Amino acid sequence: MKILKSKLFIFSFIGCALLFILTSACALYFILSEMPPVYELEEYTPSLTSKLFDKNGKLIYEFSVEKRQMVPLEDIPVDIQNAVISMEDRNFFNHAGFSIKAILRALINDVVLGKAAQGGSTLTQQLSRGVFLTKEKKIIRKIREIFLAVQIEALFSKQEILKLYLNEIYLGEGAYGVKAAAKKYFDKDLSDLTLGESAMLVGIIPLPSRYNPFASPEMAQKRRALVLNSMVETGFITKEEAQKAKEEPLPKRSLSTDKPGLYFIEYVRRILEPKYGVETFWKGGLNIYSTIDIDKQAKAEEIMNAKLHEYDLKIAQNLGIEIVQEDTPSEENLEEEDSAEQEEKEQQEYPKLQGAFYVRDVKTGAIRVMIGGRNYEESRFNRATQAKRQPGSSFKPFVWMAALEKGYTPSSLIKDLEMVFYYDGRNWRVFDEAKDQYSLQLAAQPFMLSKDFDVWAPKNFGGKSSGFVTLRRALELSKNLAAINLIDAVGIDKTIDVARRAGITSNLPKAPAIALGVSVVTLEELTNAMSTFANGGIKTNAYAIERVEDQYGRPLEEHIPYEKEAFSPQNAFLLINMMKGVVQRGTGGAARILNRPVAAKTGTSQSHRDTWFIAMTPQIASGAWMGYDDDTAQEAGKWTGGGAVAPWASAILAEILKDEPATDFAVPEGISFSFVNPETGKLATASDRNKIPEAFKKGTEPLSF
């Protein structure tokens, strides 16, 4: 009987042992099966920040899901390294990845608290958790964490582990890694951090949402003191050094969120994100070198916003409205306004004027300045690239180029006479021009009153006509009737062809009214097309990105120049030379403050809804627009492109061009100059006081006085 019991005991023991082994094996298999291969850490690439630089290599923006920048250990201040070891893992250089003593201490705390509490983790465990595991506090995760830590210690040196940890750790405010955190909290490079700043960053580690100085300055100060005291205990610093570091001021969150170039930055994102994909663009650490000049961009925004605010105040004053000034918030006064104040403020709201400004390099097409509106945070709609508005008379140069290609010269006389058009169901036709103006109006009157006919009778600004005028003078004074007579003579199809070759892509209806800019275009589109004339007839594509590199500096793409001859250099020069007269003697006189050769054209759409100013030098082409988003008319104000937009656009150009030489447009071969009377277009006599030197293609100069 005893033998039987003994055998039963042995078999039971063996069975229990086998069951324990089997259960342990299954548990171990379960634990290990869910663990990632640690060797992946050798090729570990965390989510990185893609950086956008301006034309001078200045960092202007960072695209990221997580603010992170990887740096080698030698670039991380020793104070940060010592502080982390002192606070997070004093035995870091001696353990094999985990600490039995720390784990037991954490387990006792767990039992006392009755739940899984964070603690007892070495730097290596924290790294394994941050890279491979979830943040969920479970025993099974802690076991996997230890297994991973041991494997990491076997594969990597302590220095490599410390480097990975300091680049991986989350430090609040979207910043991952110490380099991104230094930029976020102190706007400094790592190498410039003080002892107190280094200690503050390390103090954030256990609970970034609570210990960061922006969220809780008092807690951040206490944590910094704790880190410094710990560094004294471990012998990394002296008490005197710690005391001095404790007296350093904490960083404060910047209240200013205004950054120049936000519309351009979004413009770049729209180009590159679809090309490289969301993951690569936002997490791949791309280096994007753009064409923007961020310093000139900032100055342009400042000038435009100030002038448009001034206009707002004048308009509101005329309407008896008091505009509430937008005060800059302060730390002492960030409370919300009470309901009564808010209601009063809403009653005083007035629609703000909007503006857009765009500058590109004439020869290369590189975009230097792009303003899409007055406040990107209020409205992200880019009025330089997305808004299609009527360009008014700023469209006229395309008609003038069509005339030059048809054999007209700057001295050719064209009609500045009233015309009446009617639509026959297929085409626009003109009434008999042979009749005098009174007879013309009398004949057209019944058609104007009939609902069965579309009749159009354009007028000059101011209502007066001068009979005949030279091609140059009509452009300088922006004569509407001359433009209509000219497009009727050279052909609508010819004008559309010219606009297309220059770079206009928007729809252009086959109607004589396109001579007055009734079809809609974008500011970017119009400025790019006009720059073709300033570039000697050579069309180049506008572009915003010079090159893109991956995180290792390897090139992914680079801008490839594109050029195409759209117009002869002679005709391009003749047009530009006439457009210089718009500034010298015409509607663009505000640009004379630049004291340099400038070719320009003003534009004002119907009911003064849109006002424009296009200006070009041999270096840059610029476009400016002003109006209301809701297409509000400004009939009462009688605003014009020359009177309302040209002044602030010229002020911006003065800043942009202040370091550029005041060169003139190059004269191509086959051009000659003769002094002419600007009123008659004939050769000037010795007694003509207002004679001007006019450019002609050789062989087309006037022969008579």
**Collapsed DSSP state (helix, strand, coil) of residue 74:** helix
Distance CA 688, CA 96 (A): 99
Distance CA 351, CA 374 (A): 12
Distance CA 563, CA 649 (A): 28
**Collapsed DSSP state (helix, strand, coil) of residue 696:** strand
The angle formed by the CA atoms of residues 543, 544 and 545, to the nearest 5 degrees, is: 105
- Reference 594, options 642, 640, 647; nearest CA is 647
- Reference 652, options 298, 222, 213; nearest CA is 298
- Residue 611, strand partner residues: 604, 626
The angle formed by the CA atoms of residues 72, 74 and 80, to the nearest 5 degrees, is: 95
How much is the pTM? 0.76
Q: Is residue 703 included in any domain, yes or no?
A: no
- DSSP letter string, 27-72: HHHHHHHTSPPGGGGGG----B-EEEE-TTS-EEEEE-SSEE----
Q: Please, is 692 exposed, middle or buried when counting C-beta atoms within 10 Å of its C-beta (0-12, 13-18, 19+)?
A: middle
42's CB contacts (< 8 A; 6+ apart) are: 155
- Reference 421, options 412, 432, 410; nearest CA is 432
Tens digit of each residue's pLDDT (9 = 90 or more) over 595-644: 999 999 999 988 889 999 999 999 999 999 999 999 887 655 567 888 99
**pLDDT for res 689:** 87
Q: Is residue 469 included in any domain, yes or no?
A: yes
Report the CATH number at residue 421.
3.40.710.10
Backbone angles phi, psi at 509, to 5 degrees: -65, 150
Q: Please, is 147 exposed, middle or buried when counting C-beta atoms within 10 Å of its C-beta (0-12, 13-18, 19+)?
A: middle
Distance CA 411, CA 405 (A): 14
Last residue of a domain, one of 246, 275, 303: 246
Taking the CA of residue 457 as centre, how many other CA atoms within 13 Å lie in the half-sphere pointing to its CB?
Answer: 16
A 10 A CB-CB count for 106 gives 18
Q: Is residue 702 included in any domain, yes or no?
A: no
**Collapsed DSSP state (helix, strand, coil) of residue 159:** helix
Number of domains in the chain: 2
**pLDDT for res 164:** 85
578's CB contacts (< 8 A; 6+ apart) are: 400, 410, 471, 472, 475, 476
Distance CA 570, CA 572 (A): 5
**pLDDT for res 611:** 95
Q: Is residue 301 included in any domain, yes or no?
A: no
Mode of pairing for the β-strands spanning 620-627 and 354-361 = antiparallel
Report the CATH number at residue 140.
1.10.3810.10
Q: Is residue 181 included in any domain, yes or no?
A: yes
**pLDDT for res 20:** 53
Last residue of a domain, one of 246, 275, 299: 246
- Asked if 637 and 616 count as a contact pair (C-beta separation under 8 A), the reply is no
Which domain, by its residues, includes 174? Answer: 72-246
**pLDDT for res 347:** 39
**pLDDT for res 328:** 42
Burial 22-47 (b: 16+ CB within 10 A, else e): eeeeeeeeeeeeebeebeebeeeebe
Give the pair of three-digit tokens for residue 86.
């002192």
- Asked if 543 and 365 count as a contact pair (C-beta separation under 8 A), the reply is yes
Q: Is residue 204 included in any domain, yes or no?
A: yes
Distance CA 530, CA 615 (A): 9
**pLDDT for res 265:** 96
- State CA 222 to chain mean position distance: 40
Q: 């009025």: which residue's tokens?
A: 383
Q: Is residue 97 included in any domain, yes or no?
A: yes
- Asked if 213 and 198 count as a contact pair (C-beta separation under 8 A), the reply is no
Distance CA 228, CA 580 (A): 68
The angle formed by the CA atoms of residues 104, 110 and 115, to the nearest 5 degrees, is: 155
Helix %, strand %, coil % for the chain, to 5? 45, 15, 40
- Reference 499, options 398, 614, 600, 572; nearest CA is 398
Helix, strand counts (H, E) of the chain: 22, 21
Strands (E), 215-352: 287-290
**Collapsed DSSP state (helix, strand, coil) of residue 491:** coil
**pLDDT for res 578:** 98
- Asked if 508 and 526 count as a contact pair (C-beta separation under 8 A), the reply is no
- Asked if 320 and 86 count as a contact pair (C-beta separation under 8 A), the reply is no
Distance CA 620, CA 362 (A): 5
**pLDDT for res 132:** 55
pLDDT less than 70: residues of the chain: 1-46, 66-68, 96-120, 130-145, 147, 255-258, 320, 322-349, 419-459, 461-463, 465, 634-638
271's CB contacts (< 8 A; 6+ apart) are: 544, 545
- Asked if 398 and 464 count as a contact pair (C-beta separation under 8 A), the reply is no
The CA dihedral of 213, 215, 216, 217, to the nearest 10 degrees, is 30
33's CB contacts (< 8 A; 6+ apart) are: none
Q: 């960061």: which residue's tokens?
A: 212
Give the pair of three-digit tokens for residue 132.
């491979």
Mode of pairing for the β-strands spanning 610-616 and 287-290 = unpaired
For the four alpha carbons of 238, 241, 246 and 251, in that order, the dihedral sign comes to negative
Last residue of a domain, one of 208, 228, 246: 246
Q: Is residue 38 included in any domain, yes or no?
A: no
Distance CA 120, CA 104 (A): 8
What does the radius of gyration of the chain's CA atoms come to, in whole angstroms? Answer: 37
- Asked if 425 and 558 count as a contact pair (C-beta separation under 8 A), the reply is no
